[in-house]
Chain A
């Protein structure tokens, strides 16, 4: 037992430093899902949208070498997928769970299809250079905290700004209040002169874009190459983290960091215990998520109109 504690202590710096990039993709997707759900749309297709983001981001970066462009196009591609989800569930009132599940498989199939048709004949798997981390002289060199605060890659900082913007938008702007009203009761929103469908579409498109960015982050920042199904359920964890976060971006961020920390821990423990099959450790982040969800339990107030289509009478 003592040895395990000392291993964990030894790993602490690695975990703290590594958790941010591991948390980033899931946080991007969860932040988008938070906005979605606040407007009352459940998007279970996040996994598919992330998968589409992994391949589109990879392809664009591989062809152009421009990672900014790659992230944007990946986001837009997934936003397009989200738009389909919106047409089905908002305009045609289809069941959100069913449509979301279909979107998952569409993204899953598309990502494999695009990869195979472009690189299927390559003898060695293609790679891209992962995006560089920031280096600010002196600041990044500060012991302990320098690398943590000033040594992340630019996308992490962009996400942080997006997070602040979303937090401000939801709770300090009129449009944010309107959006949350749509999530609570679209009929009330409409009576008050707010167009529920418009808000739901825009929220979904934002959520799709963020899922695509999250997916692209996996290929472009964490891995540098593409393999099938590489999100490994992170899209669903993102949905779960929104519940853990009680629809508040701050708590979603905390949940993502916990996920990231446990993820790094699993990668590290794997090397310390080579005799144990690595699949055992790879369950850790998911078990951790489950524990988080149980801790929240049924205490949270979900948007009252979540996953309910808005059908007008008369």
Chain B
């Protein structure tokens, strides 16, 4: 790829990028969120069209206008959000858009061809299962198989490890090496240094849409890569903790909750968040974490069990009452649940408090007080915003998250629940949010941190509870933190089946 430029309204996402890929290599495309990695690869895959630049394969210019063009040039891409239909079987998913073999959908014939591909590449999946019954790791294998089945010789994987357990990552890397020895070329888009050092042969680092570093892997250190990636040597994950304890706690006992499909997705879960600690919940997404948090906050009814804050039973209270008791919530979906996008920051700031003094006086909003409150959040939590009247949806993800974190902390809540607080944020905002969570803890607040990022849970938590199929493990104390051990628990080790 030569001189690629891609402009989005207001952002130059990719700025004259040259990118070379050699056959049979594993190439890491490294960079922070928003560095333009995915955009660049989407240009190669035909999802976006470049404003400038050309794509050359073996020295010949090719035009890639859509994914089909890319596929016919042997390029396949696995996006972070899989291109699979959850309600279709694996077989059906692999058969979409097939052009060969007549009008009839002959799944048996297709099956034997898929099995051949499975054998060739050493990938094993039950073809008759529906995709929604598969784990994330298995779905990823379906995606890879799909591309291979369509004759891809170059595979682009966008953040392939982002929701995998350490064991699944090891498996993935094993398959990637096998594919490489079968003659495939692989690009992985990532922001994780150890992945580059682990598996790549060559690395290209992007920062703010530009290539800032290119090298073979030999002799690279994480220090060098970090500096290339963020332009300054930042020490990650060293948080100062102070011992505080007031004896207060948020306690969940034997909680069972039904999910959207009316099946029991949280079963007999128990945990205790003490004041002055961060209790991390580790788990592969979809093991009941979301429903647990929603149930504690009162968004979802519990079937059985008890929830108390400082000894007060809140099991049957509404959301509003729980907020009054001192519960705060930083949902993962910051744009749709954490804030009302089309409302200004002023009104977003008082979402939990607009029903009383000083923000509501004689039945009408007191905009002066509201504006002051929003202003306090903006200045107190370094939200980059022109003023208090900016619409929530016009803030960047990082700034909106800072605003929501600020809102939940500045009001006197004693316990805070935060789900994937840094997903999609750049390094700067991530560090800021994490530091604020620790600061809140150091001031005596209790945090229930749910995150799919195991490193985040390990870095921030005082104790960790693992969730697997709706059940909770016993808490693991900080001195016993071990990546692999917790990874194994996330896959069900130590849980009764």
Question: Real complex partners, A and B?
Answer: yes
Interface check A63, CB cutoff 8 A: no
Known: A188-B85, A190-B66. 13 other contacts (CB 8 A): A172-B104, A173-B103, A174-B98, A181-B85, A181-B88, A181-B96, A184-B88, A188-B96, A190-B67, A192-B83, A194-B96, A301-B87, A304-B87
The contact of A189 among B92, B96, B99, B103, by CB within 8 Å, is B96
Interface residue? A314 (CB, 8 A): yes
What is the total of A-B residue contacts with beta carbons within 8 Å?
64
Residues of B within 8 A of A187 (CB): 83
CB pair B87 A188 closer than 8 Å: no
Contacts of A125 in B (CB 8 A): none
A37 to chain B, nearest CB (A): 14
Q: Which 5 A-B pairs have the closest CB atoms?
A: A192-B97, A314-B48, A193-B97, A193-B68, A191-B67
**How far is it, in angstroms, between the C-alpha of A168 and the C-alpha of B97 when the chains are bound?**
17
Question: Chain B's nearest CB lies how many Å from the CB of A218?
Answer: 34
Within 8 Å by CB of B105, from A173, A184, A194, A314, lies A173
Task: Give the shortest distance, in Å, between B133 (CB) and chain A (any CB).
Answer: 14
> Would you list which residues of chain A between 163 and 210 have a CB under 8 Å from chain B?
171-178, 180-181, 184-185, 187-194
Q: Name the one of B48, B97, B98, B99 contacting A313, with C-beta atoms under 8 angstroms.
A: B48
A193 contacts which chain B residues (CB < 8 A)?
67-68, 71, 97, 99
Distance, CA A175 to CA B102, complexed state (A): 10
Q: Is the CB of A176 within 8 A of B49?
A: no
Between-chain CB contacts (< 8 Å), 22 pairs: A172-B104, A173-B103, A173-B104, A174-B98, A174-B105, A177-B88, A177-B95, A177-B96, A184-B88, A185-B85, A187-B83, A188-B96, A190-B67, A191-B67, A192-B83, A192-B96, A192-B97, A193-B68, A194-B97, A301-B87, A314-B47, A314-B49
Interface flags for B102-133 (1: CB within 8 Å of A; 0: not) read: 11110000000000000000000000000000
Q: How far is the CA of A304 from the CA of B87 in the complex (A)?
A: 9
A301-B261 Cα distance, complex, nearest whole Å: 11
Residues 68-88 of chain B: 1 if any A CB is under 8 Å from the residue's CB, otherwise 0?
A: 100100000000000111111
Complex Cα–Cα for A64 and B85 (A): 49
Known: A174-B104, A175-B103. A191 touches B42 (CB 8 A): no
Most buried by A among B48, B66, B87, B97: B97
| Interface size of A in residues (CB-CB distance below 8 Å) | 24
Q: Which A residues are within 8 Å of any B CB, using their own CB?
A: 171-178, 180-181, 184-185, 187-194, 301, 304, 313-314
Contacts of A188 in B (CB 8 A): 83-85, 96
Nearest CB in chain B: distance from A29 CB, A: 26
Contact B87 A174 (CB under 8 A): no
Residues of chain A contacted by B42 (CB below 8 angstroms): 314
Chain B residues with Cβ below 8 Å from A178 are 96-97
Alpha-carbon gap, A185 to B42, bound state (A): 18
CA distance A103 to B97 in the complex (A): 32
Across-interface contacts of A185 in B (CB, < 8 A): 83, 85
CB-CB contacts below 8 Å: B45-71 with A: 47-49, 66-68, 71
A172 CA / B108 CA spacing, docked (Å)? 12
Residues of A within 8 A of B105 (CB): 171-174, 176-177
Give the distance in Å from the alpha carbon of A178 to the alpha carbon of B85 in the complex.
Answer: 11
When C-beta atoms are compared, the residue in chain B nearest to A184 turns out to be B85
Distance between B166 CB and nearest chain A CB, rounded to angstroms? 29
For residue B189, give the distance in angstroms from its CB to the closest CB of chain A: 17
For the complex, what is the distance from the CA of A189 to the CA of B49, rounded to whole Å? Answer: 19
Residues of B within 8 A of A175 (CB): 103
**Distance from B193 Cβ to chain A, minimum over Cβ atoms (Å):** 30
**What residues of A have a CB within 8 angstroms of the CB of B68 in the complex?**
193
Q: Which chain B residue has the least Cβ–Cβ distance from A176?
A: B105
Query: Which residues of A lie under 8 Å from residue B87 when comparing CB positions?
Result: 184, 301, 304
Residues of the B chain whose Cβ atoms lie less than 8 Å from the Cβ of A313: 47-48
- Residue of B with least CB distance to A185: B85
- B residues in contact with A190, CB < 8 Å: 66-67
Contacting residues, chain A, for B84 (C-beta < 8 A)? 188
A173 vs B104: C-alpha distance when bound (angstroms): 4
Rounded to whole angstroms, the CA-CA distance of A146 and B96 in the bound complex is: 44
Chain B residue nearest in CB terms to A175: B103
Is B47 touching A177 in the complex (CB atoms < 8 A)?
Answer: no
A181 partner residues in chain B, CB cutoff 8 A: 85, 88, 96-97
Within 8 A of A (CB), among B297-323: none
A314 to nearest B CB, angstroms?
4
Chain A nearest Cβ from B401, distance in angstroms: 23
Chain B minimum-CB-distance residue to A312: B47
Nearest CB on A from B81, distance (A): 9
A178 to chain B, nearest CB (A): 6
Question: In the complex, what distance in Å separates the CA atom of A175 from the CA atom of B105?
Answer: 8
Residues 111-161 of B contacting A (Cβ, < 8 Å): none
Cβ of B104: which chain A residues have Cβ within 8 Å of it?
A: 172-174
CB distance from B346 to the nearest CB of A (A): 30
Closest residue of chain B to A191, judged by CB? B67
- Min CB distance, B293 to chain A, in Å? 23
CA distance A202 to B419 in the complex (A): 43
Set A171, A174, A301: member contacting B95, Cβ < 8 A:
A174
CB-nearest residue of chain A to B100: A174
Nearest-CB residue, chain B, relative to A314: B48
Quick one: closest A residue to B101, CB to CB?
A174
A178 CA to B84 CA, complexed, in Å: 13
From residue A187, how far is it (CB to closest CB) to chain B in Å?
A: 7
- Give the residues in chain B near A192, CB-CB below 8 Å: 67, 83, 96-97
A314 to B85, CA, bound (A): 23
Residues from chain B with a CB closer than 8 A to the CB of A173 are 103-105
| CA gap between A180 and B66 in the complex, in Å | 21
CB distance from B82 to the nearest CB of A (A): 9
Residue of A nearest to B84 (CB): A188
